[in-house]
Structure 1
Amino acid sequence: MISPESLHLGMMLAETGMLEHAVTEVMAKPQLLLMTETSPTAKSAVRRHIRKWRHSVKRRLSNDCITEELKQEIALYQEAVQLTQHGFSQHAKGMIKQLEGKSEFYLAARRMLEKNMSQETPMFQSYFCNKWYEHLAASIKGAQQKELEAHKDKLLNELYQRIETYKTLENVEERGTLEKVGRLWDLASSKVTQSDVDLLKRFVAFLKDNQDLQDIAQTLGRMASDVDDPSLHRSPAEELQMVEEPADNVADDIVGVHQSDNLEKIVPNEIIYLAEPALEILFYKHFADKRLLTYRMQGMQRSLRKVKAFKPESKQVDIEKGPFLICVDASGSMSGFPEQCAKAMAYALMQIAVKEDRDCTVMIFSTDHICYELTGEGGLKEALNFLSYTFHGGTDLSPVLTHSIDLMGTDKYRNADLVVISDFIAPEQPKEVQAQVDDLKRQHNRFHAVNLSKYGNPKLMSMFDHVWDYHPSLMGRLLKRF
């Protein structure tokens, strides 16, 4: 007789097999094969996306495919399995009556019960529950297969969309290497147009012509690694290693006796039942119930598993780097070359954030502020919206600075970098705000200012840890270009 635990195990095994088959089908698509064979970066991104999808779908197949009617039928099956032979004879008809109009097994079950009433077969309960189990397993597998097909179609559409975006942006930089521009589109599911490509190319070219901006961004990005605080040390990295583990399927030694249906390891005493015709049916009952006494074998097998890898003390410890919070002045006084510099600087920091797996949020401010999550699932779309925004209005630093300070007081923004890009033609901040900034500095948060004007307020900029001035004259830019 099959227990509820065996039913659950059977469902999990069927589910795993279906998932593996679906993953194999997806990876065998010609578009994906061509993409992954020609680009190691794309291959890594595709495999990472499929692993994430597989984990999500596995959880849904386990939970979402079982309808309420099917749950009730499984509960009835479990009740039938646990009944004694006498109890099953008394209650089976009433239990099956509850399946009428709800299960395809109802008619077959009723016919089996009616046939057994005249014969009273001792093994009928085991036979009946086995047939019921087969029906339940087929129903669950069918529901899982239908759900899996829908998820697989959705996955293929997402991957094709990402591949289309990847190919469209492949030549954004002159050398065509996506790593130089950043891996932002690996996170993007939005479709890009030729105008989007032209916009990104324009800022890549701008950063190339203004290398000083790129140097400032690189210097700023390295500061998160220089913090001396043991609480920011990353956990020891996990890596795959070959280890030896005990395994029941490796027949090295006999470690005991247990109940199973493994005829290869059966204890000789069990075979005695086959010598007597009257006891033979008892042997087959024990076999069906997996209750034959068999030798339990155990040995050591080598397998790959993730283990903690502690770094030697002589090596530099990895530091947990916090997010970038970039505040960009979008006032009318920033239009023109300062606007291009501000967007290019934010774009350069965004590349660093994606490369180092750090969050990056841009807030543009004038009389109000707007947030863009540049490293989220829709990061590419957010980045394009930010880069295409036109600067206008007045300058009001206080609201965005107060909001940023509130964010940096949370655990998410430990060891974070706040970068304000502005012409700093604004009044000095109140002493309360400066006191909050000083408190956050003591918690290893850093405050940076990128000044794009010769007329910035020195008292306003004095509250920042680091101030970079970048305001070359028009003549200087012309000389540099020609």
Structure 2
Amino acid sequence: MAGLSKRKYDIQFYVKVVEKFVQTGECAKTLYGETEDPLLLYLLAIMNDPSIRVLVLGDEVRARIFYDITTQFVWQFLEQEKFQMQRAQSELGEMESALNWIKEKRDGWQALLRKIKDDYKENAFDEPFYEHMFGDKDKQHDSTVWEKMLKDWEDSFQQKQQEQKEKNLDAKKDFLEKKLKTSLNKIPEYLEEHQVDKEEFYQAWSMMNGLWNTIDFENIRKIVKLQKEYPELLKVANRMGRIADDEGSKQVYVTEGSVYKLAHSQKSDILGVTIGNDLNALLPSELLYYADSELQDVFMLKYFTQKLQTFRYKSEIMQPSRRLEAKPAVLKGPMIVCLDTSGSMTGKPERMANSLLIKLIEIAELQSRECFLITFSVSTKTIDIRRDRLKLMEFFSHPFTGDTDATQMLKDTFRMLDENRYMNADVLLISDYRIPKCKPELLKQMSVHREKGTLFYGLQIGIAPNEWTEHFDHIYRIEYHVDRKY
């Protein structure tokens, strides 16, 4: 309905506002135009607080603390607002029903006015005026009067929603501000006193959901420290994250010039479907968005966020002339981590696996990259690491148990790749590889996905015979001694 079309911001908008502040210090209201959004106005007020600015700007650790605590606050607030909006859906349905009364000339205006009066007596709804108007039988079916009443009802609804949003925000302000000021002072002091390096802090802090306590921090830090004891963990993480090598570069082939080889009237050049904003490779379904004037905003949003569905051609590579050049590796696709949680992984293998997972979570956050965890023993569970933090925390609280079967894990992985049309994903299987071999058809599916650009890596913890090597692009191995002190 037209009266409900006020601009709403999603989580990504607010995250970008906070990100811009910690990176540049910019937080002027003029950057975002005229707005009545209380959450945005509150964030801008916090970022313009001199005591906050002096702590956050120019200090990398404090900037990270501020970013994490603030964005988590925003997420929680929006979740609460979403819940309240769901509760209001029944009232929106009543508005729609009222429109039908106009068309069908139904009675019932007295009960409707009483309800609106009870719900919006503090929101300036002029109930006496409409009671007087509908008292005239000729006016009861006057669509002009009904439409004005509905417009006033919508305005009262919006005003009440705005007031509720401001009320909810006021109830949380003190907690956020105290939490920020305490964390921005105490955490850096603790890190300096205990000589915690930044990388250890970032990884451990990312697992704490913005809730600082030294006991949890030190327990997580012990797991993170395994990366120094076993450097292979970092090698795997960097390979999955497509991060440059220790010298800051990675040898990759890049195109030189523009040597195109386009096939016309020949066998199809289409290799698959991906996402991006190449207008020359749009799927017909995306062209429909552009052709429909009412859907052009959707098309433009997908274009600017590079989420348009496009054909992927073999000739994208264009048979380029090649030269070897040192340049940063390119990020493509999500990371899918398949973690063996069977009983044979209990103990140090479990801690090493968790250490690698924590590092991958940090990489995913820094790169704003999708990352999924598929845990498996006999059954499987899939967790969207960046969005389902509660499920992730629950996973870390449970010990590894049970037997091992990779069948369902592989099926879940392939389904995720197929349903989301992921191109160039990186899949990692962490296990001791005491895994019975799967049926040939599943292994064949692995080969098909590798041919499409998905890379399959493995981390073997232990020295058990491994029958999976030929099916992976690369398998890293870590040998460890059980009697080694943790």
Answer whether TM exceeds 0.5 for this pair: yes
Q: CA deviation at 1:33?
A: 6.8
**Equivalent residue, structure 2, for 1:450:** 459
Distance 1:230 1:176, change over 3 A: same
Distance 1:417 1:107, change over 3 A: closer
Q: Distance in 2 between matches of 1:388 and 1:359?
A: 23
Q: Are residues 1:467 and 2:479 paired?
A: no
**Matching residue within 427, 439, 450 for 1:430:** 439
In the TM superposition, 1:268-283 aligns within 5 A as: none
Distance 1:12 1:181, change over 3 A: closer
Q: Are residues 1:218 and 2:230 paired?
A: no
**Equivalent residue, structure 2, for 1:285:** none
Residue 418 of structure 1 aligns with an amino acid whose one-letter code is V
Q: Distance in 2 between matches of 1:422 and 1:231?
A: 31
Q: Are residues 1:350 and 2:372 paired?
A: no
Q: Are residues 1:28 and 2:45 paired?
A: yes
Q: CA deviation at 1:156?
A: 4.5
> Percent identity between the aligned chains?
18
Q: Structure 1: give runs of 5+ residues left out of the alignment.
A: 80-93, 115-127, 237-306
Q: Distance in 1 between matches of 2:134 and 2:444?
A: 82
TM-score scaled to structure 2, two decimals? 0.56
SS in 1 for 2:437: coil
Q: Are residues 1:372 and 2:383 paired?
A: yes
Q: CA deviation at 1:29?
A: 5.6
Distance 1:147 1:217, change over 3 A: same
Larger mean Cα displacement after TM superposition, 217-226 or 347-356 = 217-226
Q: CA deviation at 1:416?
A: 1.4
Q: Are residues 1:143 and 2:160 paired?
A: yes
**Matching residue within 327, 345, 348 for 1:337:** 348
SS in 2 for 1:325: strand
**Matching residue within 383, 406, 423 for 1:397:** 406
Q: CA deviation at 1:34?
A: 4.7
SS in 1 for 2:413: helix
User: Which structure would you say has the larger Rg?
Assistant: 1
Q: Are residues 1:175 and 2:209 paired?
A: no
Q: Are residues 1:413 and 2:422 paired?
A: yes
Q: Distance in 2 between matches of 1:409 and 1:97?
A: 55
Q: CA deviation at 1:415?
A: 1.6
In the TM superposition, 1:20-99 aligns within 5 A as: 20=37, 23-25=40-42, 27-28=44-45, 34-35=51-52, 37-39=54-56, 40-41=63-64, 46=70
SS in 1 for 2:428: strand
Distance 1:151 1:462, change over 3 A: same
In the TM superposition, 1:103-142 aligns within 5 A as: 105-107=126-128, 139-140=156-157, 142=159
Residue 403 of structure 1 aligns with an amino acid whose one-letter code is D
Q: CA deviation at 1:436?
A: 1.0
Contact 1:233–1:318 at 8 Å: present in 2 too? Answer: no
Q: Deviations over 1:220-277 (max 9, x none)?
A: 32189969999768548xxxxxxxxxxxxxxxxxxxxxxxxxxxxxxxxxxxxxxxxx
Contact 1:233–1:319 at 8 Å: present in 2 too? Answer: no
Q: Deviations over 1:98-139 (max 9, x none)?
A: 98646663545678999xxxxxxxxxxxxx99x989976974
Q: Distance in 1 between matches of 2:219 and 2:429?
A: 23
> Aligned-pair RMSD on alpha carbons?
5.8
Residue 394 of structure 1 aligns with an amino acid whose one-letter code is D
**Matching residue within 328, 336, 347 for 1:325:** 336
Residue 441 of structure 1 aligns with an amino acid whose one-letter code is R
Q: Structure 2: give runs of 5+ residues left out of the alignment.
A: 8-32, 57-62, 118-125, 136-144, 245-249, 255-270, 279-302, 307-319
Q: Deviations over 1:186-232 (max 9, x none)?
A: 9x47x566543233211222223323321221123218996999976
Q: Distance in 1 between matches of 2:167 and 2:476?
A: 53
**Equivalent residue, structure 1, for 2:448:** 439
Q: Distance in 2 between matches of 1:72 and 1:429?
A: 56
Q: CA deviation at 1:373?
A: 3.0
Distance 1:184 1:132, change over 3 A: same
Q: Deviations over 1:330-363 (max 9, x none)?
A: 3333333322222212222222222222222223
TM-score scaled to structure 1, two decimals? 0.56
SS in 2 for 1:424: coil
Residue 400 of structure 1 aligns with an amino acid whose one-letter code is M
Distance 1:383 1:174, change over 3 A: farther
Q: CA deviation at 1:437?
A: 0.8
Contact 1:416–1:445 at 8 Å: present in 2 too? Answer: yes
SS in 1 for 2:36: helix
Distance 1:22 1:383, change over 3 A: closer
Q: Distance in 2 between matches of 1:95 and 1:334?
A: 67
Residue 203 of structure 2 aligns with an amino acid whose one-letter code is V
**Equivalent residue, structure 2, for 1:19:** 36
**Equivalent residue, structure 1, for 2:396:** 387
Q: Distance in 2 between matches of 1:337 and 1:185?
A: 19
